[in-house]
Structure 1
Amino acid sequence: MVAADGALSGSARPVSGMLTGRLSALMFMQFFVWGAWNVTLGLVMQTVGIGSLIANAFSVGPIASIVGSFLLGMAAARFLSPKMLMVTLHLVGGALLFVLPRFLTPEQGGTFVWLLLGYMILYMPTVGLANTIALKSFGERVDRFPFVRAFGTLGWIVAGLIVGWAGLSASPHIFEVAGVVSLALGLYSITLPNVEPDAPQGKSLVADVFCTEAFGLLRQRSFLVFIACATLISIPLAMYYAYASAYVGAAGIQNVGGTLAIGQMSELVFMFSMPWLYRRFGVKPLLLVGMAAWALRYALFAIGDGGTSLWAIYLGVALHGVCYDFFFVAGAIYTGNIATPKGVNAQAQGMLTLFTYGVGMLLGSQIGGLLYAQLPANPSIADWQQMWWYPAIAAAVIALLFQLTFKNDRKTEAVA
């Protein structure tokens, strides 16, 4: 079906190798930008003497998810072309990335956090928008999505390897690396498929702006439980993003960026198996395995050290593929399946981003900050081990709650 503005609807868009390649390049750059600075930011801040602000710095992303994903990712996607939003947000955001390094000092650390918040308000909506463009472009062939999303993981890996090999893991210059690719992605986005915004449902402007149709999906019990558990599991997730780099550095590992990229390498392996696993097992087993993997990962961190148990650190990092793919990638597909019949795919993806990268990670960043504040100024590996038991237990409890409360109708997954 062709829209009035010439855009193809998702159900009518043909799937070709060229389209898959274009969307793969989109995902590669989308997550390269984030991975270039996010992975080792905690180590950078500790190195320049503003470790006490790590929790605040990793809270701005969740706050931006709440603000940006709602206003730009959900509401604006109703009225504006998703690809033009991508162009604007990445070009402006890329320029801001070049400004950030000069404020990474003890004297201007507070200003750095505020500027980072401004950048993240621009960036976070693009995560949901990229998913929306890919899913709508593929139409009913959503089984192609994990393959394309795998290139996002590859982008994150390449970013980490470049930062590590260049010796920039503890350097403010990580933002400039991200800035170059952000500007390139902004220009590249002009060429993306011109997918339709979500069609208005004939309700009031207020209903459109506040995305009542997307929130209405929460009336389905299974989707409500999924969103609740996705929010809760994002709490321990935030602690990994904020403090894993400092922990790995404390263990005596020199190439922190390259080591943490092992997690994305494993993510890439599992990403390619996701379509078959989703069709074979459905959403619940995948989500449950993902949450259980988070508990196991943190338990491994709690026993890992710089000596004979160094293997536990590497294994914990390598589990990232199971942790992320089995929950967040499967969850994005599940959300699309629930939202597509209602015509609110972009809003629903934005809502998922809001609750996970927004509410959940905001709580996780602040809780992690409270736990980090109990550590000495220069934590030893033993100090870190004690801290990791908290998210390990939390993830195990969340997995148990999910197992007991989530019941899904496989018919809703038929499109996958």
Structure 2
Amino acid sequence: MNITTRLKLSLMMFLEFFIWGAWFVTLGTFLGNNLQASGSEIASVFSTQSWGAILAPFVIGLIADRYFNAEKILGILHLAGAFLMYQMYQSDEIGQFYIYVLSYMILYMPTLALVNSVAFNQMQDPEKEFATIRVWGTIGWILAGLSISFLFHWDAATAVSQGLLKNTFLLSGIAAFILGIFSFLLPKTPPKITAVDKIKIGDLLGFDALKLLKDKNFAVFFLSSILICIPLAFYYQNAHPFLSQAGIENPTGKMAIGQISEALFLLLIPMFLVRFGFKKTILVGMLAWAMRYALFAYGNAGDLSFMLIIGIALHGICYDFFFVSGQIYTNSKAGEKYKSAAQGLITLATYGFGMLIGFGVAGWITDNFKMLDGATNWEMVWIIPACISLAVFFLFALFFKEKNKTKEEIPVIIKIQENEYQLK
């Protein structure tokens, strides 16, 4: 790959995740303070991510893969997204805001697959080349958080009370507009199939991989993947409002520690998988969720602030050791015939239906655990997902029976970089 192409792809990844990280992390705090949204209303807004994930395969499979170059669709979607971001910036009512954010997520979630398609199309050896391109997406997310906290100070207590968090949508909109224009300068990525080729809805959603559920172990993993998304939703939806209300300074910047941890712990997964196997690695990830929420439940912004920071830093273990390891396990079980379908099915189950359930539960819990003064009982809000994580931990430990690793699975473990693009 020549240097010009490498720079273009790196900038594309940087902007793609800068856009997401610049508004999604602070969304819960914005909704509660600027729009006075209830827990259930906040859950509905966060659930738009799940609806976007559910509809994304249709956008990609029915349009992007059949009629237009991926880079052109990427540009159009981000330009439309920039307009919707501006509308979100101007919104002052939760009902109006919901319409814009739902429309935005339906357009944005397909772009996650499109940027990968553009990048992979330029690589002769993705296993070696992709990681160095995708890492700029993680850097973009981290810098978005650091900018909000340490450059613009929009998440400071006084700024939040003045409603300045709405500026995050303007920042994201500007970045989306830049990426929208820049996308038309990216390397050409033509459709994968012709418009006349038949396509089945089941193929788009990965339904062919349902045959894998006949395997008891895979069925246990599949169910656990859906259930573990319930505590995951608590983190996405409640972490920033919790840290802000707890009195943590620069909460958005400090939450970027989670993405740094995510990148670092990725390097440890090959060692864990080879030495301990899938089951123990995934169990460590589940246990980390329970530990994180216990730290959140009993930590504070004073002498126990280190507990909150450790809870944030555990994100790397929570996400990588379960979700990335799970993707590798799915890949090894599916084989060549169902590989893509299986990954699509797991994505639909987790970020689609699993997170949809999780956001609903998190919103209900937040609304129903209030103290006499109306403040959120954060201890109970975090203890409940900690208990859910432990329940999933014991479910998986009891019913998943790991077999000895086959020779075919070892290369999958070693080549973990192939799956790095799933991080976010």
Say whether the 8 Å CA contact 1:75–1:211 is kept in structure 2.
no
Match of 1:8 in 2: none
Question: For 1:270, which of 265, 278, 282 is the aligned residue?
Answer: 265
Question: For 1:373, which of 363, 367, 371 is the aligned residue?
Answer: 367
* Whole-Å separation in 2 of the counterparts to 1:131 and 1:335: 19
Could you list the per-position Cα deviations for residues 273-299 of structure 1 after superposition, in whole angstroms to 9, with x for gaps in the alignment?
A: 556656666654443322221121111
Say whether the 8 Å CA contact 1:304–1:385 is kept in structure 2.
no
Match of 2:210 in 1: 218
Question: For 1:414, which of 390, 394, 411 is the aligned residue?
Answer: 411
Q: Given the superposition, is the C-alpha separation of residues 225 and 371 from structure 1 closer, same or farther in structure 2, using an over 3 Å criterion?
A: same
Q: Given the superposition, is the C-alpha separation of residues 304 and 123 from structure 1 closer, same or farther in structure 2, using an over 3 Å criterion?
A: same
Question: For 2:233, which of 232, 238, 261 is the aligned residue?
Answer: 238
Say whether the 8 Å CA contact 1:235–1:365 is kept in structure 2.
yes
Match of 1:188 in 2: 182
The one-letter amino acid of 2:367's match is: A
Structure 2 alignment gaps of length 5 or more: 416-424
Q: Given the superposition, is the C-alpha separation of residues 27 and 73 from structure 1 closer, same or farther in structure 2, using an over 3 Å criterion?
A: same
Say whether the 8 Å CA contact 2:148–2:252 is kept in structure 1.
yes
Q: Given the superposition, is the C-alpha separation of residues 161 and 357 from structure 1 closer, same or farther in structure 2, using an over 3 Å criterion?
A: same
Q: Given the superposition, is the C-alpha separation of residues 319 and 147 from structure 1 closer, same or farther in structure 2, using an over 3 Å criterion?
A: farther
Structure 1 position 205 matched with structure 2 position 202: no
Match of 1:11 in 2: none
Match of 2:106 in 1: 121
Aligned partner of residue 305 in structure 1, secondary structure: coil
* Whole-Å separation in 2 of the counterparts to 1:239 and 1:328: 16
The one-letter amino acid of 2:291's match is: L
* Whole-Å separation in 2 of the counterparts to 1:127 and 1:38: 15
* Whole-Å separation in 2 of the counterparts to 1:295 and 1:234: 13
**After the TM superposition, which of the residue ranges 175-184 and 74-83 deviates more from structure 2?**
74-83
Match of 1:40 in 2: 26
Cα deviation for residue 369 of structure 1 reads 0.8
The one-letter amino acid of 2:227's match is: L
Match of 1:95 in 2: 83
Structure 1 position 342 matched with structure 2 position 328: no
Q: Given the superposition, is the C-alpha separation of residues 275 and 150 from structure 1 closer, same or farther in structure 2, using an over 3 Å criterion?
A: farther
Identity of aligned residues (%): 36
Question: For 1:154, which of 139, 142, 163 is the aligned residue?
Answer: 139
Say whether the 8 Å CA contact 1:153–1:264 is kept in structure 2.
yes
Structure 1 position 85 matched with structure 2 position 82: no
Could you list the per-position Cα deviations for residues 366-398 of structure 1 after superposition, in whole angstroms to 9, with x for gaps in the alignment?
A: 1011101113387657x1012101111111222
* Whole-Å separation in 1 of the counterparts to 2:76 and 2:333: 29
Cα deviation for residue 92 of structure 1 reads 1.3
* Whole-Å separation in 1 of the counterparts to 2:381 and 2:181: 43
Match of 2:422 in 1: none
The one-letter amino acid of 1:126's match is: T
Say whether the 8 Å CA contact 1:23–1:148 is kept in structure 2.
yes
* Whole-Å separation in 1 of the counterparts to 2:245 and 2:314: 20
Cα deviation for residue 119 of structure 1 reads 0.3
Question: For 2:400, which of 405, 410, 415 is the aligned residue?
Answer: 405
Question: For 1:163, which of 143, 148, 164 is the aligned residue?
Answer: 148
Cα deviation for residue 337 of structure 1 reads 6.0
Q: Given the superposition, is the C-alpha separation of residues 199 and 177 from structure 1 closer, same or farther in structure 2, using an over 3 Å criterion?
A: same
Could you list the per-position Cα deviations for residues 141-184 of structure 1 after superposition, in whole angstroms to 9, with x for gaps in the alignment?
A: 43654454333222111001111121223311111111111222
The one-letter amino acid of 1:43's match is: T
* Whole-Å separation in 2 of the counterparts to 1:360 and 1:32: 25
Q: Given the superposition, is the C-alpha separation of residues 277 and 379 from structure 1 closer, same or farther in structure 2, using an over 3 Å criterion?
A: farther
Could you list the per-position Cα deviations for residues 110-157 of structure 1 after superposition, in whole angstroms to 9, with x for gaps in the alignment?
A: 110111100000011222333454456556643654454333222111
Structure 1 alignment gaps of length 5 or more: 1-14
* Whole-Å separation in 2 of the counterparts to 1:195 and 1:278: 35
The one-letter amino acid of 2:380's match is: Q
